[in-house]
């Protein structure tokens, strides 16, 4: 199965392990982990035929304020991806750290710094290998952030909202915004580790799922929606680190979705009872049943599916 944006949750867990090891500080600007200014790096590691995207920031010094925490709380100010901007350039659309706006590009920047940062600080690491070590430790033998040959006989192609079949996207590069392939047997092993804190210090586990940044828009998509009037904002809706945090009838919970034109995934966890639901679907139309399915298994949780499933344009 294609993991889609559940990859972001796995990446956040991996980053918190680097925090525990003293290699990353959530509030140290990413510029301090690089040997040269970000705009001087190129070409784009995933699109090598293009020079960007970081050169696009040469005339906007606000990139110097971006921290790992901002990347993980979707508050860098970037669009979801640089190439979906109308002018196909990387831009900062608001003051970094001031509001939530979903951005795979922000997590990809943090991946870039981990992989190309100062080796003297313990960076210059392979994110694919870091995640693989966790998958191996947890017995997730069929999960990877890059396509592995030999899986073709047991791969789920997808179905779009028109009921048309779509071939599985075999990702050839590690991309923490959404390149993971996994199985419904493997992924619950990771989710069980996350909800119980296995592999993280108590402090990092707490940090990952505590309310970090209030979410004030009516929906997650389209991006850059205006804030709702204060009286209409959901007061319990916050960005955690790589997840969204909420409160409901069962207490504090967190969740992460994963969506593209042929994929619908969801993970919902309730902190007090450490119970979770993991849903993987290769048919985007299945999202319509997620709220009822989670309610049937866990009871009324308050998971913010009404905020999650706005207009999915541009999401991946």
pLDDT tens, residue by residue, 77-90: 999 999 999 988 99
Q: How far is residue 223's CA from residue 36's CA, in Å, rounded to a whole number?
A: 31
- Closest among 175, 178, 179, 158 to 167, alpha carbons compared: 158
Residue 115 phi, psi dihedral angles, 5° rounding = -85, -25
How many Cα atoms occupy the beta-carbon half-sphere of 296 within 13 Å? 5
Q: Is the confidence at residue 16, as pLDDT, over 60? A: yes
pTM attached to this predicted model: 0.95
Beta bridge partners of 267: 256, 278
Q: How far is residue 25's CA from residue 67's CA, in Å, rounded to a whole number?
A: 8
Q: How far is residue 302's CA from residue 288's CA, in Å, rounded to a whole number?
A: 16
Q: How far is residue 122's CA from residue 22's CA, in Å, rounded to a whole number?
A: 8
Residue 43's pLDDT is 64
Angle, CA of 255, 195 and 155, to the nearest 5°: 65
- Closest among 307, 211, 295, 203 to 253, alpha carbons compared: 211
pLDDT tens, residue by residue, 57-109: 999 999 999 999 999 999 999 999 999 999 889 999 999 999 999 999 999 99
Residue 149's pLDDT band, with cuts at 50, 70 and 90, is confident
Mean pLDDT (whole number) for 197-223: 98
Q: Is the confidence at residue 310, as pLDDT, over 80? A: no
**DSSP for residue 245:** E
**Structure-token pair, residue 207:** 């940090």
Q: How far is residue 234's CA from residue 49's CA, in Å, rounded to a whole number?
A: 43
Residue 312's pLDDT is 42
Residue 53's pLDDT band, with cuts at 50, 70 and 90, is confident
Q: Which domains does the chain have, with CATH numbers?
A: 24-124 (no CATH), 137-308 (3.40.710.10)
- Closest among 75, 109, 111, 108 to 93, alpha carbons compared: 75
**Structure-token pair, residue 209:** 């799922």
Decide if 102 contacts 315 (C-beta within 8 A).
Answer: yes
* Helix 127-137 with 6-20: angle, nearest 10 deg: 90
Tell me the average pLDDT of the chain.
Answer: 94
């Amino acid at each position: 199965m294609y993991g889609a944006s559940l990859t972001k949750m796995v990446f956040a867990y991996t980053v918190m392990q680097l925090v525990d090891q003293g290699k990353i500080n959530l509030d140290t600007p990413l510029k301090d982990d690089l040997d040269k200014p970000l705009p001087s790096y190129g070409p784009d590691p995933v699109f090598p035929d293009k020079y960007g995207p970081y050169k696009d920031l040469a005339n906007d010094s606000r990139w110097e304020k971006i921290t790992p925490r901002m990347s993980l709380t979707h508050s860098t100010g970037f669009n979801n991806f640089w190439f979906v901007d109308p002018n196909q350039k990387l831009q900062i659309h608001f003051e970094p750290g001031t509001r939530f706006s979903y951005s795979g590009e922000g997590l990809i920047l943090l991946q870039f710094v981990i992989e190309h940062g100062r080796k003297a600080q313990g960076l210059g690491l392979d994110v694919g290998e870091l995640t693989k070590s966790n998958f191996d430790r947890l017995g997730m033998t069929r999960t990877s952030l890059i396509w592995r040959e030999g899986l073709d006989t047991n791969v789920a192609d997808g179905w779009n909202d028109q009921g048309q079949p779509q071939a599985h996207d075999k990702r050839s590069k590690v991309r923490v915004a959404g390149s993971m392939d996994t199985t419904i047997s493997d992924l619950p092993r990771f989710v069980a580790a996350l909800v119980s804190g296995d592999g993280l210090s108590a402090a990092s586990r707490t940090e990952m799922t505590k309310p970090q940044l209030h979410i004030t828009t009516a929906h997650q998509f389209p991006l850059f929606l205006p804030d709702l009037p204060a009286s209409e904002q959901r007061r319990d809706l916050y960005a955690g680190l790589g997840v969204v945090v909420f409160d409901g009838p069962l207490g504090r919970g967190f969740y992460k979705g994963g969506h593209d034109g042929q994929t619908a995934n969801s993970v919902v966890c309730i902190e007090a009872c450490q119970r979770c639901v993991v849903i993987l679907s290769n048919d985007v139309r299945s999202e319509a049943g997620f709220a009822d399915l989670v309610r049937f298994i866990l009871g009324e949780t308050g998971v913010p599916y009404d905020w999650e499933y706005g207009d999915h344009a541009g999401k991946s």
